[in-house]
A and B are shown apart, each in its own frame.
Chain A
Amino acid sequence: MNSVETKDVHLYYGDFHALKGITMAMRKNQVTAFIGPSGCGKSTYLRCFNRMNDLIDGVRIEGEILIDGVDIYKSSIQVDDLRKHVGMVFQKPNPFPKSIFENVAYGLRVNGTKDRQFIEERVERSLKQAALWDEVKDKLKKSAFELSGGQQQRLCIARALAIEPSVLLMDEPTSALDPLSTAKTEELIHELKENYTIVIVTHNMQQAGRVSDYTAFFYLGELVEYAKTKTLFTNPKDQRTQNYITGRFG
């Protein structure tokens, strides 16, 4: 079953044609990785799925994007509802200057949840899902800024999970982390796909190989090749894919 499906998506930053007709579908409860040289449009494409591109002046999008079968650019869609459904984790950990607890509770609070007990349970569950609970359970009231970079990133993952999205977008989530935190986060991604559809951008091909079921290779705003991760890395069909994965450019 497909969770995210796009049909002939074009995106323009003003005059610049950044995405050139991308048609692809991402399967439910699978990890899909986007790879490609920097500037090829991976982040841009990812930001289409929760409409974060709406925040950038002068962006124009054509084509169709369906998430769980719903056209997310039709006029009846409220972007804040969409973003509850499609969570996002960013390259640089960006916890709020609030306590660890309040960081995770934030998404619930802004979406109108008032029930204290419910919030407490959900915060605990999310922190456990993000493999952070044991490290922070005694200091939930402490500032999130006291955590290490790797912990902060897992906190941001917990924060996204707390509102139970069905799709989780991750834009180079480990590029600012040390190797140990990276390994932890990758392990976490592995566990999360049981309940979430995950789309991850990475510039690290080994990482794509380790965490993803499917991999898409982008080049200059185009989707060049999209296949099962094993297939794409062992038997690429396109010359450009082959050049990239053998390190001949990028």
Chain B
Amino acid sequence: MSFGNTPSAHRKKRLTQNIAFFIFRLLSFSVVAILVVILGFILVRGISVISWEFLSEAPREGMTEGGIFPAIVGTLCLVVGSMLFAFPIGILSGIYINEYAKDSWFKRFVKLMTNNLAGIPSIVFGLFGMALFVHQFGFGDSILAGSLTLGLLALPVVIRTTEEALKAIDNSFRIGSLALGATKWQTTRRVVLPMAFPNIITGLILSIGRVSGETAPILFTVAAYFLPKLPSSVFDQVMALPYHLYVISTSGTNIEASRAMAYGTAFVLIVIVLLANLLANWLRRYFGKKVKMN
């Protein structure tokens, strides 16, 4: 065995590694590049229509003029509404599945169902929401029906996120707490949840991003084609950004004339999702620090 003079087998090994790394790097770069192109494309076309008027006024002239304020408000209503529904139920289910449920057929069944729920196409949620909330419960096309439908869509994501975050907490912390005479609930609330919190919250906010961009579930449950006034109760219809985008790109009165508005709307939607992701990152770091300190 000697250093210095490299036998050809070693050279070949290193060459293989270099080629592999080159390919990996190339692929990662292309993913980033695609993202940048999409964002840049929307940005360049959308930025010119962004103005105070665009953000604060209702659409006019067959949606070729004016702004998208009602749609922004509508989307915010739906996001808040769906989260009020999905967060408590989803988080509690996640806690139950990971902390309480014994490994039984029931637990496996629940997990299987949540996974399947996550795989159902969102249009099916829309159809189901229409049948159940709009008609059966008689909520009509409303913020309530739309929020519940979107909430159902977010539920599996919230459950999974909570579950994964809890699973990542080392068991020795639970054992340590139980050995001091804490009950299971005290252990969960005082030790496990604070540790899992940063990751749970990140997942929640990512699910907000998902919900705010969905069109299919709101199509038959809440979204209005054109409704320039703001909602006054949860039983009102609203406009929403993704649906508005769909409408003015496909079935507006004058599609060419509203093209710029469409890019502006897409731009606002993307900014909302990006802001949510930034917030998620920031919260994770903020709470991550706090958990260690307190």
Contacts and interface: CB of A to CB of B under 8 A. Distances in A.
B293 A52 contact: no
Interface in B144-198: 170, 172-173, 175-183, 186, 190-191, 194-195
A87 interface: yes
Contacts of B176: 90, 94-96, 156, 159
Contacts of B179: 50, 52, 83, 87-88, 90, 160
Interface in A82-97: 83-84, 87-88, 90, 92, 94-97
Given A57-B103, A98-B294, A99-B294, A110 B172 contact: no
A163 interface: yes
Chain B interface size range: 20 to 34
Question: Which of A83, A106, A163 has most B Cβ within 10 Å?
Answer: A106
Contacts of B194: 97
Contacts of B183: 80, 110
Given A80-B183, A87-B179, A106-B177, 9 more contacts: A52-B179, A81-B181, A84-B180, A87-B180, A94-B170, A94-B173, A99-B294, A102-B294, A110-B190
Interface of B: 102-103, 170, 172-173, 175-183, 186, 190-191, 194-195, 291-294
Contacts of A143: 292-293
A200 to B, nearest CB: 15
Interface string A141-171: 0010100000000001001100100000000
Contact of A97 (B181, B182, B292): B292
Interface of A: 50, 52, 55, 57, 80-81, 83-84, 87-88, 90, 92, 94-99, 102, 106-107, 109-111, 143, 145, 156, 159-160, 163
Contacts of A84: 180-181
